[in-house]
Homo-oligomer: A and B are copies of this chain.
Amino acid sequence: MKVFHYLDVEGEVVEEKEAKGVTVRWLITREMGAKNFAMRLFEVEVDGYTPLHSHPWEHEVFVLEGEGEVRGGDEVKRIMPGDVVFIPPNEMHQFKNRGKGKLKFICLVPYL
């Protein structure tokens, strides 16, 4: 097994033009032996947001800290710690920080 704290994994700034203030840590990956899906942890700064985009894979999300909103298709919902979000494949989506501290969430994606 592998056991480590998420802070032990270096964060990478998400450089996409449509993202603002987003860092991702790839916690569990194929390189570690995870053949089916990957675990990442996102941190979004105050007033930051992830790109509004879609892709052929789903997201499974658990909110850890902060307050924000998530867009999925035409819906926008508030999110807070303990919230669970499922974004199905090919749905347009975006996460925004709407709070006064960092928004942190786990986001898992399949290896298709």
Contact = CB atoms under 8 A, between A and B. Distances in A.
Oligomeric state, in number of copies?
2
Contacts of A27: 62, 84
B34 A37 contact: no
B84 A6 contact: yes
Q: Interface residues of A toward B: which range?
A: 35 or more
A88 interface: yes
Contact of A3 (B83, B91, B106): B83
A79 interface: yes
Interface of A: 1-7, 9, 27-28, 32-37, 39, 58, 60, 62, 64, 70, 72-73, 75, 77, 79-80, 82-88, 91, 93, 106, 108, 110, 112
